[in-house]
Structures are given as structure tokens and as C-alpha cells.
Amino acid sequence: MYTASDKRYDKMVYNRCGNSGLKLPAVSLGMWQNFGFDTPFERVEKMCHTAFDLGITHFDLANNYGGYDGSAEVNFGKVLDRGMRKYRDELCISTKAGYDMWPGPYGAKHGSRKYLISSLDQSLKRMGLDYVDIYYHHVFDPEAPLEEIAVALDSVVRQGKALYVGISNYGREKTAEIQKIFKELKTPFIVNQPSYAMLNRWVEDDKLDEYCYENGVGLSVFSPLYQGFLTGRYLNGIPADSRVGRGATWIGNQLDEAMIKKLNDLNDMAKERGQSLSQMALAWVLNNKAVATVLIGASRPEQIVENVGCINNLSFTNEELTKIDTIIKG
């Protein structure tokens, strides 16, 4: 039976999520890939234990992580049953709904009240939980009224099925619109989950980060390593077993000679800072004052250990930030 390390809180940095009272670890575990039934359960469990032993208290899931069978949530529920459930009050567990999940009109990609509430009930059952800490609408739905989405999320809080709510893949304009409704409802809306990385600056162009910082909404960032580009795996080309090599990413065509040169230049800079490329990339995202946490993925425990090492050097000089921008702009 699992027993957590008694040193798990010695080094991790915890940041307030927006203006809420909730603190999130600077590094959280995202369970988008490699936590479903396609990964041996023993490895899934070891990655979860490794994360918690390092002070990662936030485990981020979604109804469709692992596939339409919700297998990442099923596996996480099993991990909880095998020793981690006794630490439930030390954990911040989030899940989402919004993408296609089950057959028929009520399980398709959207934000209807029926879908959002039904999906959360399914997620709670899969994980064996009475509530989640954060429940997200996973993706903006132009066909669903924002008021319906907001009221549905508000109702799950009032039912005791979630403590806080969030949105994901929403730009600045729609974030502002739905936040206005949440304020009228007095819903504990605390977080937006966008993609953001050195190589993906849309939140800056959209001014989403500025809006969220000024209006008390934290950012929980996914794909901070740009789907593996910033892990160091591609410094010498494309390994056959990598995400690009397997065709498991839609940005693979960006990995040309010019990109590989940028990655090598960034890697040289990371070495000067005493970091790996992934550690510097994570620290760079956390340098944005709007960001509460970065969500890391993993396929093995050692990657989690390495990425958590980013907290050992989170500061950048103005010269370093300028150099990074110069490298990326080519």
C-alpha cells in the first residue's frame, strides 16, 4: 500500500489561482495522454505517486482523457483506491467536459446543461469521488448560450459536486463575457486553461493573460512544452518513437531545419542557466504573472522528476528574455 513521502512539501512552489484562496503547485500533472488503458497501469500508478511525492497536488483530467471510455479517470480512481485516497484532502482534482464523449446528440461536442451535468456525474463515478475541486467547460461552444454554460457550472457547485469552476480554450472576449455572468451568479470561477508556450504566444497576442491577471482569474497552462518540441527530444532530428515520429501531433510539420536550429539555440541557453531545455521552457511560462501552474504530461516517472526541477530556477533577467525572443523570431 502506498505511503506518500514525508518530504513532499519541502521544495514545491505553490501559487494562488487568480484572486481565489486556492493555491496550486507551480507544476501540475496533466493526464491527457499516457494515463489511459493504453498504458500499463503500474506505470500510471508510479507516475501519480512520483508526482505527489514531489509536491504535485493538482491532478488534471477530462472525461475523454484516455479515450471515449474515460480510461484516464478510471485508472486514476484505481490509483486512489490503492493508497492515495487517504490523501484526498491534500489533492486538487480537476476534470472537464466539452468534447465528443458518447453517442447521440447529448454526448457530442457542446456545452449544454444536460451534457455538462451528465458528464460530471459520469466522471465522479469513474473516479469514485463525491466532488472534484475544479470542473471546467473544456472548449468554447459557439452554439451553446454562455448563460446556459455558466448556470450549469454554477449548479454543480451548489449541488456540492465541484468546489470551483473554470473554462478551457476560451479567448479573452468570451472569458470576459462568461465571467460577467459568473459574477452575477456569485460562482467561484477561478481559472482558464489555455495552451501557452515559448513557441505558442496566442494568449499574449489575444491579451488573455493581461485580462485574467487584472480580473483575478488564474491561468493553468497546458502544452507548455509545445507537444514535446521543447523537451530536447528533437535536437538531433525526429526519433521514430517520438510524437512527431509517430504522427501523434498536428504540429509535426513545423519541425523543419529552422525549428531544430531554434531548439538547439534555446538548449544552449538553458545549459548556461544550469537547466534542461524543458526546465527552462516551463520556468519561462511560469514567469508570466498571470500563470498559476503549468500542466506537464509524462510517459514515465523520470520525466516528472526532471520537469519539476524547473522550480530550482524560475527567474529570468531582461537580457535572457530578450535573447529567447530573438532566438524564436529567428
Query: Distance between CA atoms of 252 and 259, rounded to whole angstroms?
Result: 11
Query: Distance between CA atoms of 325 and 330, rounded to whole angstroms?
Result: 9
Pairing of strands 92-97, 132-137: parallel
What's the pLDDT tens digit per position in 129-170?
999 999 999 999 999 999 999 999 999 999 999 999 999 999
CA-nearest of 272, 297, 277, 200 to 233 is 277
Fold that domain 14-255+276-315 belongs to in CATH = TIM Barrel (3.20.20)
Query: Distance between CA atoms of 198 and 194, rounded to whole angstroms?
Result: 13
Over pLDDT 70: what percentage of the chain? 95
Pairing of strands 58-60, 189-193: unpaired
Predicted pLDDT at 272: 96
pLDDT at 31 > cutoff 50: yes
Q: Taking every pair of C-alpha atoms in the chain, what is the biggest distance, in angstroms?
A: 54
On average, the pLDDT of the chain sits at 94
Residues 6+ apart with CB under 8 A from 164: 20, 22, 133, 134, 135, 157, 188, 189, 190, 191
Q: Hey, is 98 helix, strand or coil?
A: coil
Query: Distance between CA atoms of 99 and 111, rounded to whole angstroms?
Result: 9
Q: What is the DSSP string of 36-97?
A: STTS-HHHHHHHHHHHHHTT--EEE--TTTTSTT-HHHHHHHHHIIIIIGGGGGG-EEEEEE
CA-nearest of 15, 4, 1, 3 to 190 is 15
Residue that is written with C-alpha cell 519541425 in the block: 255
Residues 6+ apart with CB under 8 A from 82: 1, 2, 45
What's the pLDDT tens digit per position in 219-252?
999 999 998 889 888 787 665 555 554 555 555 5
What's the pLDDT tens digit per position in 77-123?
999 999 999 999 999 999 999 999 999 999 999 899 999 999 999 99
What's the pLDDT tens digit per position in 261-306?
999 999 999 999 999 999 999 999 999 999 999 999 999 999 999 9
Amino acid of residue 121: D
What's the pLDDT tens digit per position in 156-205?
999 999 999 999 999 999 999 999 999 999 999 999 999 999 999 999 99
Residues 6+ apart with CB under 8 A from 23: 14, 15, 16, 17
Grid cell in block for residue 164: 470551483
Look at 58-62, 66-70, 314-318 and tell me which has the smallest mean pLDDT.
Answer: 66-70
C-alpha distance across the termini of the chain, in Å: 52
Cβ(191)–Cβ(219) under 8 Å?
yes
Amino acid of residue 231: T
Grid cell in block for residue 50: 512520483
